Chains A and B, each alone.
Chain A
Amino acid sequence: MAKIKALIVDDSKIMRSAVKRALNQLMIADFEYVEAMNGEDALDQFDNTIEIIFLDWNMPKMTGVEFSKAIREKGDTSHIPIIMVTAEKSMGKVDIALNEGGANEYITKPFTADKMHKTIKRYFDEEGQLVTQKETEEKKSFFSNILKS
């Protein structure tokens, strides 16, 4: 099973560990983790090998939503699922994260492995591959074949 490179962004080490523990329990994919303590740190760590992002909101230096906006503005990142994992619960905040921030999903803290599973399972196929990534690769391959022919 190919490893999925996940970026975990949270200023709390305890919460980064909790996210990793939940993902390991799910056994829906084999993850490799990159950790960041805030949005600014996450921007430094981000590169085109990152395949999924788990993102807190309330962090020093750069918030999760600011980071999410910055990532989406980079372009060619729409295939990367951004999962907000945050204590912010009001509907206004959910709306901002999903519509203005460009996040795909929203999980409130504290969360269980089951809640995490329900939220992210649609992004993975039975082989533990990211569906979005697979679709992107298939599209690239399709267009590449057309260009060749």
Chain B
Amino acid sequence: MVEKTLDSRTIPNEIIEVVIQSVINTFESILGEPPGYDEDSGPDGPLNGVIGNIAVFNPDSTLSLMLAMPRETALGLSEAFIGFEIPFESNDMGDLIGEVSNILAGEVAANIEKIGFRGQSSLPTATRGSDLTLFMPNKPPSKKLKFQGPHGNFWLNMALSESK
């Protein structure tokens, strides 16, 4: 079980494993096949795509999840999720990635509860653009996870911080 007072320097491996499995479960239920997890998350670089942001939180800790999708991956995901490709520039694309983030957070919240972290999901937001770079000013412990789906790669960045 996860220690009640989390070490402020690292994300416990149990949490990382739960999040990896939650991403696999979520995308398998949407795409019909599980995405592969790549231990080598690759170099950091700007993203041309869309990022879904959501958090699972309780009064002590906040687990932030940032789902980073390159443009092509997002377009393929839209076709799998709603049956047709939606324009990348449309508001519907932000809606879609926000909803996928919401579904992922629901899965994470349900699974993380089993290891002692009981939390609830925030509302999702989404950011679309080119040259997007993720950075965390307060430098909380974070982890970047890379996945390979049928429509291309995508990343999940996670950060664990004290709730304010």
A residues near B (Cβ < 8 Å) are 11-15, 17-18, 21, 58-60, 86-90, 92, 108-110
Chain B neighbourhood of A14, CB < 8 A:
81-82, 92, 95-96, 99
Give the CA-CA distance A17 to B96 in the complex, in Å.
11
Chain B residues close to A by CB (< 8 Å):
29-30, 81-83, 92, 95-96, 98-99, 102-103, 105-107, 109-110, 113, 121, 123
- Looking at the complex, which one of B30, B95, B105, B110 makes contact with A12 (CB distance below 8 Å)? B95
What residues of chain A lie closer than 8 Å to B83, measured between beta carbons? 21
- Which residues of chain B are within 8 angstroms of A92 by Cβ–Cβ distance? 113
Nearest CB on A from B123, distance (A): 6
- The reply to whether A86 and B95 form a contact with Cβ atoms under 8 Å apart is no
Chain B residue, CB-CB nearest to A111:
B29
CB distance from A126 to the nearest CB of B (A): 28
Is A90 a contact of B110 with CB atoms below 8 Å?
yes
Q: How many A-B residue pairs have CB under 8 A?
A: 50
Chain A residues within 8 Å of B121, by CB: 58, 87-88
Asked whether A17 and B106 contact (CB < 8 A) given A58-B123, A60-B123, A110-B30, the answer is: no
Q: Which residues of A contact B96 (CB under 8 A)?
A: 14
Find B106's partner among A18, A60, A86 (CB 8 Å cutoff).
Answer: A86
Which B residue's beta carbon lies closest to that of A91?
Answer: B110
List 17 A–B pairs whose Cβ atoms lie within 8 Å, in order of A's numbering: A11-B123, A12-B102, A13-B92, A21-B83, A58-B123, A59-B123, A60-B123, A87-B103, A87-B105, A88-B109, A88-B110, A89-B109, A92-B113, A110-B29, A110-B30, A110-B81, A110-B103
Partner of B107, one of A17, A58, A89: A89
Q: Is the CB of A13 within 8 A of B95?
A: yes
Closest to B113 in A: A90
Scoring B30, B83, B110, B123 by chain A CB atoms within 10 A of each residue's CB, the highest score goes to: B110
Task: Across the interface, name the chain B residue whose C-beta is closest to A17.
Answer: B82
Once the chains bind, are A58 and B102 in contact (CB under 8 Å)? Answer: yes
Q: A58-B121, A88-B109, A109-B106 are in contact. Are A12 and B29 (CB under 8 A)?
A: no
Q: Are B106 and A87 in contact (CB under 8 A)?
A: yes
How far is the CB of A116 from the nearest CB of chain B, in Å?
A: 14
Q: Which residues of B contact A60 (CB under 8 A)?
A: 123
Given the complex, which residues of A lie within 8 Å of B82, measured CB to CB?
A: 14, 17-18
Residues in chain B near residue A88, CB distance under 8 A? 106, 109-110, 121
Q: Do A90 and B95 touch across chains, with their CB atoms under 8 A apart?
A: no
A-B pairs with the 6 shortest C-beta distances?
A87-B106, A89-B110, A90-B110, A87-B103, A12-B99, A87-B102
- B107 / chain A contacts, CB cutoff of 8 Å: 87, 89
